[in-house]
Chains A and B, each alone.
Chain A
Amino acid sequence: MISDARVEVRLGARQLTRKFGSVVANDRVDFSVAPGTIHAVVGGNGAGKSTLMRILQGVDSPDAGSVILDDQPVRLTGPADAYARGIGMVHQEFMLAPPLTLLENLILAREPVVRGGLIDWRAAQAEADRLAKIAGVEIDWRRRVADSPVHVRQILEILRLLYRGADVLILDEPTAVLAPLQIDELLRLMRKLKAEGRTIVFISHKLEEVMSVADAITVMRAGRVVTSTTPDKTSREALTQAVIGDAALEPRVEPRARRPGAPVFVAHGLVGVDALGVKRLGPIDLDICSGEILGVAGVAGNGQDELVECAAGLAAPAAGEIAFAGEDMTRASTARFRAAGVGYLSADRAQEGLCLTASIRDNFVAGRERDPAFSRFGVLRLAAIAERAQRAMDRLSVRYGRLADPAGSLSGGNQQRLAFARELERDPKLLVAAQPTRGVDIGGTAFIHARIAALRDRGAAILLISESLDEILALSDRVVVLYNGRIVGKLGREEASVERVGRMMLGQEAA
Chain B
Amino acid sequence: MTRAFSSAPLGRALQAAAPFVLAVAIGAIVLAATGHEPLSVYRLMIVEAFGDERRIAATLTAATPLLLTGLAAAIAFRAGIFNVGAEGCFYLGGMAAAIVGYALSDWPGALSIPLALLAASLVGGVWLIGPGLLRARFGVDEVVTTLMLNFIAIDLTSWLVNGPLLARGSANSATPPIGASAELPRLLPPSTLHLGFLISLALVIGYGFWSRISVAGFRSRLVGLNPRFSRAVGIEPMRVFLSMMVASGVIGGLAGGIHTLGLVHRFVAGFSPGYGFTGVAIALLARNSAIGVALAAILFGALSSAGANIQLFSNVPIEIVEILQGAVMIFAVAQLGFGWARRRAAA
Interface residues of A (CB under 8 A from B): 312, 314, 333-335, 337-339, 344, 346, 351-358, 362, 365-367, 369-370, 375, 378-380, 382, 404-406, 408, 422
Known A335-B235, A362-B218; contact A352-B229, beta-carbon cutoff 8 A: yes
Is B214's CB within 8 Å of the partner chain A? yes
> In the complex, what distance in Å separates the CA atom of A476 from the CA atom of B226?
33
| Chain A residues within an 8 Å CB radius of B7 | 404-405
A357 near B226 with CB under 8 A, answer yes
| Chain A residues within an 8 Å CB radius of B226 | 351, 355-358
| Chain A residues within an 8 Å CB radius of B222 | 355, 358, 362, 366
| Chain A residues within an 8 Å CB radius of B228 | 351-352
A314 near B231 with CB under 8 A, answer yes
Task: Specify the chain B residue showing the minimal Cβ separation from A374.
Answer: B215
B214 near A353 with CB under 8 A, answer no
A380 near B216 with CB under 8 A, answer no
Interface core residue of B218, B232, B235, B236 (most chain A CB under 10 Å)? B232
Is B213's CB within 8 Å of the partner chain A? yes
Is B225's CB within 8 Å of the partner chain A? yes
Is B219's CB within 8 Å of the partner chain A? yes
Task: Specify the chain A residue showing the minimal Cβ separation from B217.
Answer: A380
| Chain B residues within an 8 Å CB radius of A365 | 218
Interface core residue of A314, A346, A351, A355 (most chain B CB under 10 Å)? A355
| Chain B residues within an 8 Å CB radius of A337 | 234
Q: How many of chain B's residues have a CB under 8 angstroms from any CB in A?
A: 22
| Chain A residues within an 8 Å CB radius of B235 | 335, 366-367
A370 near B225 with CB under 8 A, answer no
Q: B232 is contacted by which of A353, A356, A406 (Cβ under 8 Å)?
A: A353
Is B338's CB within 8 Å of the partner chain A? no
Known A366-B222, A378-B216; contact A352-B232, beta-carbon cutoff 8 A: yes
B215 near A408 with CB under 8 A, answer no
Question: Closest approach, in angstroms, between the C-beta of A405 and any C-beta of chain B?
Answer: 8
B232 near A312 with CB under 8 A, answer yes
Is B5's CB within 8 Å of the partner chain A? yes
A334 near B232 with CB under 8 A, answer yes
| Chain B residues within an 8 Å CB radius of A353 | 229, 232
> In the complex, what distance in Å separates the CA atom of A375 from the CA atom of B215?
7
- Sorted from nearest, which 10 A-B pairs have the closest CB atoms? A367-B233, A338-B234, A367-B234, A355-B226, A355-B229, A335-B234, A366-B233, A369-B215, A375-B215, A378-B215
| Chain A residues within an 8 Å CB radius of B231 | 314, 334
> In the complex, what distance in Å separates the CA atom of A379 from the CA atom of B213?
6
| Chain B residues within an 8 Å CB radius of A351 | 226, 228-229
Given contacts A355-B229, A358-B221, A405-B7, 8 further A-B contacts (CB under 8 A): A314-B231, A352-B229, A353-B229, A357-B5, A367-B233, A367-B234, A379-B214, A382-B213
Q: Could you list some 6 contacts between A and B, CB below 8 A?
A: A338-B233, A354-B229, A355-B222, A366-B233, A378-B216, A379-B214
Q: A370 is contacted by which of B213, B215, B229, B232 (Cβ under 8 Å)?
A: B215
A380 near B225 with CB under 8 A, answer no
